[in-house]
């Protein structure tokens, strides 16, 4: 018989923009359900620099007795509040808010991937020191419950690799390029018109957003800290309609992937577009959906998919964490699971990573050209898996597309350099990794 149903847990939220607004909306709508499932969770305070937007939200949702202010300190110093949701975004201000909250004995729930992927270690240590929770489910792949799955549900299993489509904007763009034959620029414009891509889309299309998410996933999966800056990134801006069409002919889709692997000695981590077989579960993840594909010793292969962004999916992940933090308060088990990084594996150098590669070359259409390219590859021990020459670029030039067997990155890049210098080659148009 639980006795804590009579408790009311007061919470505060800093930031009621899109994601914060989503969390507050769900809390208002599902208040009774949440109270029945655990206990009453009451939004006591909101801090937002835009007082008008906060008042509008509160009145639209019919929330009563919520104190609104434009100073986050008001939440931290309120002794009745035990959980703070931080959804401000950025690094410096949230760092200040979260660390002050933790030091003041508040549990914190955040969706801030920038901060967790760069300063997660310091903040988790602070949470542990103060015997409170710091939870960040919403920081990775929005509504997909993956952090708790990895930290708790798979706690007995050894995870060997994670491949994730963890950026909705780039998945939308690549899907539009593939299914509607749009060039990159038009697909990006469509993503912007639909509100997926920001006016400045750099962090999405160049892979920085995905790097933060795969850094967090790698840290929890391999119990060893990986920071955002340690993740080599390559964006999707060079992917052309030709690459998409050739990939299809070879039986592949092009997806923007975050990849993390651990062999028990080193962690390999990277973000880049990749060819994946059309039969791979990740190839079926379309539009702005996200997915995380895990290979482990015991569960083997499992994929988790869903909405990676948006007010309600992300708000739902935030409130799931709030309920967890509230449960820990009710059961007096705060700080139950904090930092899980007990190991410290080095990050494998990108040069030593091993992949298959796709290479598209603009070359003279003449005798011996293919042989010259094959020789340059062979010089570096790069073996050809498939090759195709279909398109004539001009009267004298053709396009040669090769897929290699698995090769060390540095060896492949040396071969690419030699190919680029061949008299008969006008340009190496693109190189893209192939993942199975
Ligand atoms: N910009 C991200 C995406 C959502 O496109 O998936 C927030 O992380």
The model's pLDDT over 181-238, given as tens digits with 9 standing for 90+, comes to 999 999 999 999 998 888 889 999 999 999 999 999 999 999 999 999 999 999 999 9
Q: What are the structure tokens assigned to 321, written together?
A: 């964490």
pLDDT band at 1 (very low <50, low <70, confident <90, very high): very low
Contact between residue 254 and residue 262 where contact means Cβ atoms under 8 Å apart = no
4-142+311-330: in CATH 3.40.50.720: yes
209 lines ligand 1 (CB under 6 A): yes
Distance 324 CA to ligand 1 centre (A): 24
Q: Is the pLDDT of residue 148 over 90?
A: yes
Mention every residue, 6+ apart, whose C-beta is less than 8 A from residue 216: 113, 116, 117, 120, 136, 139, 140, 147
Distance of alpha carbon 401 from alpha carbon 391, whole angstroms: 10
User: SS3 for 382?
Assistant: coil
Q: Is the pLDDT of residue 52 over 80?
A: yes
Residue 199: exposed, middle, or buried by beta-carbon count in 10 A (0-12, 13-18, 19+)? exposed
Q: Is the pLDDT of residue 153 over 50?
A: yes
Q: What's residue 3's pLDDT?
A: 57
167 lines ligand 1 (CB under 6 A): yes
Distance of alpha carbon 167 from alpha carbon 217, whole angstroms: 13
Domain boundaries, the chain: 4-142+311-330, 146-307, 350-434
Segment holding 321, helix H or strand E: helix 311-330
- DSSP string of 345-359? PPBPPGGG-EEEEEE
Closest CA to 384 of 366, 404, 408, 370: 404
114 lines ligand 1 (CB under 6 A): no
Closest CA to 351 of 322, 314, 380: 380
Distance 139 CA to ligand 1 centre (A): 10
Distance of alpha carbon 415 from alpha carbon 95, whole angstroms: 45
Q: Is the pLDDT of residue 90 over 60?
A: yes
Q: What's residue 394's pLDDT?
A: 87
Lowest mean pLDDT among 44-48, 74-78, 387-391, 428-432: 387-391
Q: What's residue 393's pLDDT?
A: 87
168 lines ligand 1 (CB under 6 A): yes
Contact between residue 313 and residue 307 where contact means Cβ atoms under 8 Å apart = yes
Distance 428 CA to ligand 1 centre (A): 31
The protein residue whose alpha carbon is closest to atom 7 in ligand 1 is 309
203 lines ligand 1 (CB under 6 A): no
Segment holding 294, helix H or strand E: strand 289-296
The pLDDT of 147-168, averaged and rounded, is: 98
Average pLDDT, the chain: 96
Length of the chain in terms of residues written: 436
0.85 surpassed by pTM? yes
The pLDDT of 323-348, averaged and rounded, is: 95
Please report, rounded to a whole number, the percentage of residues in the chain having pLDDT higher than 70: 99
309 lines ligand 1 (CB under 6 A): yes
Q: Is the pLDDT of residue 324 over 60?
A: yes
**Atom number, ligand 1, closest to the C-alpha of residue 314:** 7
Q: Is the pLDDT of residue 174 over 90?
A: yes
Report pLDDT digits (tens) over 95-111.
999 999 999 999 999 99
CATH of 146-307, one of 3.20.20.140, 3.30.360.10, 3.30.70.890, 3.90.25.10: 3.30.360.10
Residue at token pair 């948006």:
310
Homologous superfamily (CATH) for 350-434: ACT domain (3.30.70.260)
CA torsion through residues 37, 42, 46, 51, sign? positive
The pLDDT of 11-28, averaged and rounded, is: 97
Contact between residue 109 and residue 136 where contact means Cβ atoms under 8 Å apart = yes
Residue to mutate, 209, 228, 235, ligand 1, most ligand atoms under 8 Å from C-beta:
209
Distance 39 CA to ligand 1 centre (A): 32
The pLDDT of 278-289, averaged and rounded, is: 98
Lowest mean pLDDT among 11-20, 119-128, 131-140, 385-394: 385-394
Q: Is the pLDDT of residue 2 over 70?
A: no
Distance of alpha carbon 373 from alpha carbon 118, whole angstroms: 42
The pLDDT of 343-347, averaged and rounded, is: 98
Lowest mean pLDDT among 118-132, 191-205, 364-378: 191-205
Distance of alpha carbon 10 from alpha carbon 79, whole angstroms: 10
For the CA atoms of 288, 294, 295, 299, the dihedral, rounded to the nearest 10 degrees, stands at -120
DSSP 8-class letter at 295: E
Q: Which residues are catalytic?
A: 213
């Amino acid at each position: 018989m639980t006795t804590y149903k009579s408790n009311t847990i007061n919470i505060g939220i800093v930031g009621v923009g899109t994601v914060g607004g989503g969390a507050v909306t769900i809390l208002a709508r599902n208040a009774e359900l949440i109270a029945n499932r655990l206990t009453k969770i009451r939004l006591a305070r909101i801090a937002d620099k835009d007082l008008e937007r906060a008042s509008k939200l509160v009145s639209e949702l019919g929330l009563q007795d919520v104190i609104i202010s434009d100073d986050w300190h008001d939440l931290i110093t309120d002794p009745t509040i035990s959980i703070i949701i931080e959804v401000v975004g950025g690094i410096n201000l949230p760092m200040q808010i979260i660390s002050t909250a933790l030091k003041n004995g508040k549990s914190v729930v955040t969706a801030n991937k920038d901060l967790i992927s760069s300063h997660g270690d310091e903040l988790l240590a602070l949470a542990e020191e103060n015997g409170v929770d710091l939870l960040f489910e919403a920081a990775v792949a929005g509504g997909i419950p993956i952090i708790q799955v990895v930290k708790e549900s798979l706690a007995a299993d050894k995870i060997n690799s994670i491949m994730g489509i963890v950026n909705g904007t780039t998945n939308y763009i690549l899907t539009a390029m593939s299914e509607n034959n749009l060039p990159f620029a038009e697909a990006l414009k469509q993503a912007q018109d639909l509100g997926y891509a920001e006016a400045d889309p750099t962090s999405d299309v160049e892979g920085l957003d995905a790097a933060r998410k795969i850094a967090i996933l790698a840290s929890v999966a391999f119990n060893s800290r990986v920071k955002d800056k340690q993740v080599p990134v390559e964006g999707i801006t060079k992917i052309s309609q030709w690459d998409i069409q050739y990939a299809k002919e070879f039986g592949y889709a092009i997806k923007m992937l975050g990849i993390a692997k651990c062999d028990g000695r080193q962690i390999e981590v990277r973000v880049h577009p990749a060819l994946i077989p059309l039969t791979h579960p990740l190839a079926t993840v379309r539009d702005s959906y996200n997915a995380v594909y895990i290979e482990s010793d015991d569960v083997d292969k499992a994929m988790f998919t869903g909405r990676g962004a948006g007010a309600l999916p992300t708000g739902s992940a935030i409130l799931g964490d709030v309920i967890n933090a509230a449960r820990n308060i009710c059961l007096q088990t705060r700080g139950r699971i904090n930092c899980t990084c007990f190991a410290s594996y080095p990050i494998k150098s990108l040069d030593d990573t091993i992949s298959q590669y796709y290479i598209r070359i603009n070359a003279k259409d003449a005798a011996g050209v293919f042989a010259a390219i094959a020789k340059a590859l062979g010089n570096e021990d790069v073996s050809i898996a498939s090759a195709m020459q279909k398109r004539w670029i001009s009267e004298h030039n053709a396009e040669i597309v090769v897929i290699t067997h698995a090769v060390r990155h540095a060896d492949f890049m040396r071969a690419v350099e030699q190919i680029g210098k061949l008299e008969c080659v006008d340009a190496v148009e693109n190189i893209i990794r192939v993942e199975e």
